[in-house]
Amino acid sequence: MNATLNGWLTSQIDKLKEQSLYKEQLVLEGPCNNRITIAGRPGIINLASNNYLGLANHPKLVAAACEAAGKWGAGAGAVRPITGTLQIHVDLEKQLAAFKHTEASLVFQSGFTSNAGVIPTITDENDVILTDELNHASIIDGVRLSKAQRKIYKHCDLSSLEEGLKASAAAAKRLIITDGVFSMDGDIAPLPDMVKLAKAYDAAVMVDDAHGSGVMGGGRGTAYHFGVHEDVDIQLGTLSKAVGVMGGYIAGSRALIDWLTQRARPFLFSTAQPAPVVAAIMAAIELMEKDTSLTDKLWENAAFWKSGLKGLGFDTGVSETPITPVMIGDEATAMKFQRALLNEGVLALAIVYPTVAAGKARIRTMPSAMHSREDLVDALGAFKRAAESVGLF
């Protein structure tokens, strides 16, 4: 390797370690379940997963994937515009559009590539994008790929958003982009009021519902939860969190989806999802449509978990959803707390700069439908002991 490049990389890694920002990669020695095995140690309570409903290991999804592999093979063999579009892809997109109550949908390889596909494809240099300051990294990168002017408004601040709308009156098009559920704090965007502003100023609205998919609105997302899904122009959903598999999608008008099939670069130049993945997703959506018990269990567990943490004296921030941060502040203390928790048999990861602002470090916990009450009671005990061991209490 080039010595100059290697030296620079090594120095950057050393700096991360000195600043308590270096994160070790964890390796699971089995499925992503309520209790997992790491480094030969079984029974660790998993509070770090986005597998909200436990569908990643659901027998119906596993069976659907196996059956599809036998019928369609292991891979699609090409990008979608060539010969990569299988009938099962078309069936999934129809299913998702019906589930989201939109005219059409288009599936991408991930939520990240969904943002990279849609944002620069529907905006140009004559437009303005108004984006929340705490939007996900994939939105930030999608906006950077666009030639449109960017205006960042204060987090969920309607006055700040309106100021940006007034200042961008000369734009050809204006696009407001927000997360539905914010992934680090667990709060929810005020979509009804945002939609009213958008209508008043002739702006389009896009909601990235990665953490609302399968969680809010009976699984249909944040826009459906608020009853404004018909007023949101673009909905992004994930297939790799609550749905339990892999991928992302855009749901909206037929014209939007037709345009994306012609110009969205991640769609045009990435091999299509394998049929086993698609079949597992379809099984998950069918489960969510027919049975709300997993979503109900998720929210029941989340309420118990938040109450338990607050009862111990922890600060869970502004969370309104199962995403439950335990606010720490100092990066080094957060990393130390993460290690103490693992020693106590709980996996919950420290979130530090640059994922969150400097001095805003936290332990991000994710109760799910997988967890039993015993799991959560044991985890609360571990949090108390770990906090005492690092001097938080």
Phi and psi torsions of 238, nearest 5°: -105, 155
Question: In terms of domains, do 131 and 245 share one?
Answer: yes
Q: What is the pLDDT of residues 153-206, one digit of tens each?
A: 999 999 999 999 999 999 999 999 999 999 999 999 999 999 999 999 999 999
pLDDT at 23 over 90: no
Please identify, among 247, 262, 290, the residue that sits at the C-terminal boundary of a domain.
290
Number of domains observed in the structure of the chain:
2
Please identify, among 270, 290, 310, the residue that sits at the C-terminal boundary of a domain.
290
As a whole number, mean pLDDT of residues 363-377 equals 97
Please identify, among 258, 290, 322, the residue that sits at the C-terminal boundary of a domain.
290
Which DSSP string do the residues of 276-292 spell out, in sequence order?
HHHHHHHHHHHHHHH--
Torsion, CA 137, CA 141, CA 146, CA 150, rounded to 10: 50
Would you state the pLDDT for residue 393? 83
Question: In terms of domains, do 269 and 135 share one?
Answer: yes
Question: In terms of domains, do 267 and 135 share one?
Answer: yes
Number of neighbouring beta carbons within 10 Å of residue 193: 15
Domain containing 310 equals 19-48+292-389
Q: What is the pLDDT of residues 223-240, one digit of tens each?
A: 999 999 999 999 999 999
Question: In terms of domains, do 257 and 378 share one?
Answer: no
Q: What is the pLDDT of residues 315-345, one digit of tens each?
A: 999 999 999 999 999 999 999 999 999 999 9
- What pLDDT band is residue 36 in, cutting at 50, 70 and 90? very high
6 domain-assigned:
no
Question: In terms of domains, do 307 and 267 share one?
Answer: no
Question: In terms of domains, do 317 and 212 share one?
Answer: no
10 domain-assigned:
no
2 domain-assigned:
no
CATH of the domain at 224: 3.40.640.10
Q: What is the pLDDT of residues 266-320, one digit of tens each?
A: 999 999 999 999 999 999 999 999 888 999 999 999 999 999 999 999 999 999 9
CATH of the domain at 355: 3.90.1150.10
- What pLDDT band is residue 80 in, cutting at 50, 70 and 90? very high
Would you state the pLDDT for residue 85? 97
Question: In terms of domains, do 239 and 298 share one?
Answer: no
Would you state the pLDDT for residue 150? 97
Number of neighbouring beta carbons within 10 Å of residue 384: 19
Would you state the pLDDT for residue 20? 81
Q: List active site positions.
A: 183, 211, 241
Is residue 343 within 8 A of residue 382, CB to CB? The reply is: no
pLDDT at 24 over 90: no
Question: In terms of domains, do 309 and 280 share one?
Answer: no
pLDDT at 354 over 90: no
